[in-house]
Amino acid sequence: MTNYRDFHRRSIDHPEDFWREEARRIHWETPFDKVLDTSNPPFARWFVGGRTNLCHNAVDRHLVERAQQNALIYVSTETGIERRYTYAELYAEINRMAAVMRSLGVKRGERVLIYLPMIPEAVFAMLACARLGAIHSVVFGGFAAPNLAARIDDAKPVLIVTADAGARGGKVIDYTPLVDEALARAQHKTAQVLLIDRQLAPERLNASYLVNYEPLREQFFDAHVPCEWLESNEPSYVLYTSGTTGRPKGVQRDVGGYAVALAASMEYIFEGRAGDTMFTASDIGWVVGHSYIIYAPLLAGLTTVMYEGTPIRPDGGIWWRLVEQYKINLMFTAPTALRVLKKQDPALLKKSDLSSLRTLFLAGEPLDEPTASWITGALGKPVVDNYWQTETGWPMLAIQRGVEALPPKLGSPGVPAYGYDLTLRNEANGEPCAPGEKGVLTLGYPLPPGCMSTVWGDDQRFIDTYWSSVPGQAVYSTFDWGIQDDDGYVTILGRTDDVINVAGHRLGTREIEEALSSHAAVAEVAVVGVADPVKGQAALAFVVLRDAERYASDKARAKLSTELTATVDRQLGAIARPAHVHVVSMLPKTRSGKLLRRAIAALAEGREPGDLPTIEDPAALVQVREALAAASGKA
C-alpha cells in the first residue's frame, strides 16, 4: 500500500511524472508531446498535443470487454419508469443522438445547451456532444426563464435540448413555457430546440424553432457517428457555478485532463472498480452530477445509477431499497439529503440489505458532526466527506482510501488530494497559516488536471476572480475559510464572505453552527453576521428544531435559547455567542442544498436579498422575515 504523504508529495514535486503515469488510464488517439505547459500562468495546459475523446473513453472503449454490462440504470420514482442500458445500448443511443444533433448542424466547438430533467436522454445528449466535439452546457432544470436566458446569452448555443416537463415530489413542472420565455428574453436568437417528449405535459413551444426528437431518433436508428479526436485542451463543457455567492461563472473544462483526473479519482478516492455499481444522488445540472453520475463511473467501466425523485418518496426507505435492488457498491450524495433521511423512521434503513455498499461519499456543504455520527453508526461503513467546487471538477480534500485509509476525523473532509498544492493563507498578508490558525484555502499554480481551464469567454475574469485575491501571492483562492491541524486535516469554517468579525475576532459561521447543532434539540442551523453598532458584527442564528412542538411555549423557547447560548459559550467562548437565536421550520437553501446565508444576512440587515434563482423554496425566506419581525416586535 502506498503512503499518502509520499504519494501527495510526489504529485506536487514531480507533477509531470505523476500525471504521465495517470494518463495511461485513458485512450489517446494521438499521444501528447508534453505533459504540462506552464508558459502562460495562471493558465495551465495538460497533455499538450494529445488527441482523445471523452465519449470514446467513457463508452466505445468498454465495448470490447463489457458490452453486455449495464452502463446506466435509470430509476424514476416520479414516473415509475425503470430503464437499463448496457454499454452496447448506451453506445447505440448516443450515436442516434449524435446523428440527430449533427443533422441539426451541431459541430465541433459549438455549444449545445442542455436543459433537461433527470432522464437518460440527458446522458445521451451530453455524451453525444462529447462525441461530436461540441461543448455542452447543462443548465439545471430548476432554473427559471431569466436565468436560462442569461446562460443562453453567455454560451450562445446552436441547439437547446429540452423536454416537455420535469417532475419533482409528484408535481409536474412544464419546461416548454420556460424555454419559450427564455428565448424571447435572450439576445441570442439562433438556437434550435430539440424536444424530448416525455408526454408529461402539453408542449407549448413556438413551432418555428421546435424539432421533435423521437422521429429523428427513428430516422437515425442505426447511425454510427465517429468520435472527433480533440486536442486535450479543447473545451469539453461549460458549467455555471451554483450561484450561491452571486453572478454564476461559466466554468470551462478541458478534455484530456478531465478524463485523466476523473479516471484516477475513481481509484484513489472512490475505490471504484470496473463492474462496480455507483449511485450518485445529485443532478446532472451540478458538477457532482457531471463528474460522478456520468463521466467518472463510465470512464472507469462502472454501472451508474441515475435517479429522478426525492429521497423520501414514496417513503424514506427508497434509496436504501435501491442499494439492495441494484447491489450498489458506492453511493454519493450531499449532507442535506442525509439530514432529510435522518428525520425518517430509523426502521426504514434497517429493512434493506445494504451488504453490497462499501462506502458512502458526501460533498457539497459542511457535514455536521451529528449527521456524520448518525450515518456512520447507522450504516457501519466508511463515510467519506469530500470537499471541492464546480471549478475543480473533483475532490480537493478527502480521505483518499485508495491511496491510504487514513482515519477520518469528525468535522473534517480530510487531507489535500494528490495534485492539489493546498495551503491555508492569512488573507491580510498572504502568508501560510501555522497549524491551528484560520485562513483561506488556496491552491498553488498549476491547478491539477480536471480543474477549470478558464471562465468561458472571459480569460480576464478567470485571472481577476480566482488568482488575484491573496495579497502578494499568485495563488488560486477557493474563497473558503478553514483551519488545518498538525496532521494536515482541514476543517472548512465557511466561505470567506461569511466570516464574521466580532469585536476584532474572526469567526467562521460554520464554527458557530457546529456548536449549536451539537445541542440535541437542533436539526439544522444557519448563522450569519449582521452589522452591529458596538461590536462591528454580531452573529445571528436561525435554527430548525427536531421537535418544534416541545418548544412551542415562550417559556420553553426562552429556556432553549439559554441552553443554546451556553453551548456556544462552552465550545467557542462568549465572543461567538449569537445575539439572537431565531426558530424557523426551514432554512433558505439552493436547490443543491447550500445555505443561502447571504440572503438571510440581507434580510437581517433590512436589505432585500435580490435575485435568488436557485432557491429551493422561497417560503423559507418568508419565515426568516417573519422570525426577524417577531423578534424586533418583542424587543
Residues forming contacts to ligand ATP in the complex (CB under 6 A) are 241-245, 248, 287, 363-366, 385-390, 413, 478, 480, 492, 495, 594
Selection from 205, 114, 118 nearest residue 167 by Cα: 118
Cβ 127 to ligand ATP shortest distance, Å = 22
Residue nearest to Mg ion (CB): 241
Cβ 269 to Mg ion shortest distance, Å = 20
Q: Nearer to Mg ion by C-beta: 86 or 242?
A: 242
Measured between its terminal Cα atoms, the distance across the chain in Å is 62
- Going from the C-alpha of 189 to that of each of 162, 185, 207, 222, 360, the distances in angstroms are 16, 9, 14, 32, 44
86 contact, one of ligand ATP, Mg ion, none, CB 5-8 Å limit per kind: none
478 contact, one of Mg ion, ligand ATP, none, CB 5-8 Å limit per kind: ligand ATP
370 contact, one of Mg ion, ligand ATP, none, CB 5-8 Å limit per kind: none
Cβ 277 to ligand ATP shortest distance, Å = 23
Q: What is the largest CA-CA distance in the chain?
A: 73
Q: Nearer to ligand ATP by C-beta: 388 or 489?
A: 388
x/- mask, Mg ion, residues 220-249, rule CB under 5 A, reads ---------------------x--------
Q: Which long-range contacts (CB under 8 A, 24 or more apart) does 469-473 make?
A: 470/425, 470/427, 470/430, 470/440, 470/442, 471/427, 471/428, 471/429, 471/430, 472/429, 472/430, 473/425, 473/430, 473/442
386 contact, one of Mg ion, ligand ATP, none, CB 5-8 Å limit per kind: ligand ATP
Q: Nearer to ligand ATP by C-beta: 62 or 495?
A: 495
d(CA 69, CA 25): 20
Which residues lie closer than 8 Å to 601 by C-beta, 6 or more apart? 528, 529, 530
Q: Nearer to ligand ATP by C-beta: 242 or 623?
A: 242
x/- mask, Mg ion, residues 406-445, rule CB under 5 A, reads ----------------------------------------
213 contact, one of Mg ion, ligand ATP, none, CB 5-8 Å limit per kind: none
SS3 label, residue 270? coil
Cβ 438 to ligand ATP shortest distance, Å = 15
Q: Nearer to ligand ATP by C-beta: 117 or 366?
A: 366
Size of the site for Mg ion (CB under 5 A): 1
Q: Nearer to ligand ATP by C-beta: 53 or 333?
A: 333
For 573-610, give one letter per residue: b (16+ CB within 10 A) or e: eeebbbbbbbbbebbbbbbbbbbbbbbbbbbbeeeebe
Q: Nearer to ligand ATP by C-beta: 492 or 604?
A: 492
- Going from the C-alpha of 420 to that of each of 151, 249, 286, 560, the distances in angstroms are 30, 21, 22, 43
Cβ 241 to Mg ion shortest distance, Å = 5
* 490-495 and 476-484 strand pairing: antiparallel
Which residues lie closer than 8 Å to 399 by C-beta, 6 or more apart? 382, 384, 405, 406, 408, 414, 415
Cβ 289 to ligand ATP shortest distance, Å = 11
Which residues contribute to the site for Mg ion (CB under 5 A)? 241
